[in-house]
Chain A
Amino acid sequence: MSEAVAVHGGVEPAETPLTPESWGKLGMWLFLAGDAMSFGGLIVAYGALRYHSKSWPVPAEVLGINLTAVMTFLLIVSSVTMVLGLAALQDGDKPRFKKFMSLTILGGAIFLGLQAYEWTHLIHDTLPHYKLAFSTDLFATTFFVLTGFHGMHVSGGVIYNICVLAAVSRGRYQAKHVEIAGLYWHFVDLVWILIFTFVYLL
């Protein structure tokens, strides 16, 4: 800071540049920005295809929203346990962090289990009943592409969180690493909030 002032003749920068502690977060944010564009492209494509289709089933009738509302709530809960775990680790309370991080991982795993159950049910019972198939109906195609892409993100997040929990336990990771993993996890939660609205509720 003082060097910069000396070199540039006292011109104050508009904002303090990112300090090295923020570089990891910046990296994750840049990745998430790109990832957001992937989801954005899929959601916008979904909207355009749906608007163009002559007939589109009522999602709430075909898919049902009770189970999905529970899944939405579950992801929100796992986001909360993630931030509470981060807060605990920032306060130096490692056992409390481990408890909350384990709950976060459990929440993600249960979400995946429910999604597997939902998909199985849809593929075997519901979609054949409505004569909707993955390869022939945009309704089914867009549904599986969007929720599948998101489900893969949840799977990756669960694995990521397990690795972070193990690394913190061994003393190799600190709170800043957990915060970066948290950014990814909350992003997955954020995207699900949008998918829940666009794919299930509307």
Chain B
Amino acid sequence: MASTAHAHPNYIKIFIILSVLTAVEVGVTFLGLPRTLLVALLVGLAVWKAALVALHFMHLKIEKKTLTIVAVIPFILCVFLSLMLLPDIYPR
């Protein structure tokens, strides 16, 4: 078991990217951007960070595809759930 993985992913690099992205997230809230742009930007950054954690820390990038499929299904279902609620939400 101990000898199976010698080449580890560059975790420190991912850590630096995640830290910078977090700083950017906090930074953009002070810019006074239009609401729609801000929401799109923040959601994009959050998804980017979540993907980095899943791909590199949870090893999905180097894992067997089966595990990626299991991981992606709830994400798709949540998007579907949001879309299902749209008709209820839309007329306000």
Contact = CB atoms under 8 A, between A and B. Distances in A.
Contacts of A47: 82
Interface stretch (A18-26, A130-138, A141-149): A18-26
A72 B65 contact: no
Nearest to B66: A18
A201 interface: yes
Contacts of A83: 9, 11, 57
A117 interface: no
Contacts of B58: 182-183, 186-187, 190
Contacts of B45: 197
Contacts of A91: 2, 6
Nearest to A43: B78
A193 interface: yes
Given A40-B81, A76-B19, A92-B2, A48 B89 contact: yes
Contacts of B81: 40-41, 44
B-side interface size class: 35 or more
Interface of A, secondary structure class, is: helix
Nearest to A189: B53
Nearest to B6: A91
A90 interface: yes
A20 B9 CA distance: 23
Contacts of B37: none
Interface of A: 15-16, 18, 22, 25-26, 29-30, 32-34, 36-37, 40-41, 43-44, 47-48, 51-52, 60, 65, 69, 72-73, 76-77, 79-80, 82-84, 87, 89-92, 174-176, 179, 182-183, 186-187, 189-190, 193-194, 196-198, 201-202
15 contacts: A15-B64, A22-B64, A26-B66, A32-B71, A37-B74, A37-B77, A44-B85, A51-B92, A83-B9, A182-B58, A186-B54, A196-B25, A201-B25, A202-B39, A202-B42
Interface of B: 1-6, 8-9, 11-12, 14-15, 18-19, 22, 25-26, 29, 38-39, 42-43, 45-46, 49-50, 53-54, 57-59, 63-67, 70-71, 73-75, 77-78, 81-82, 85, 88-89, 92
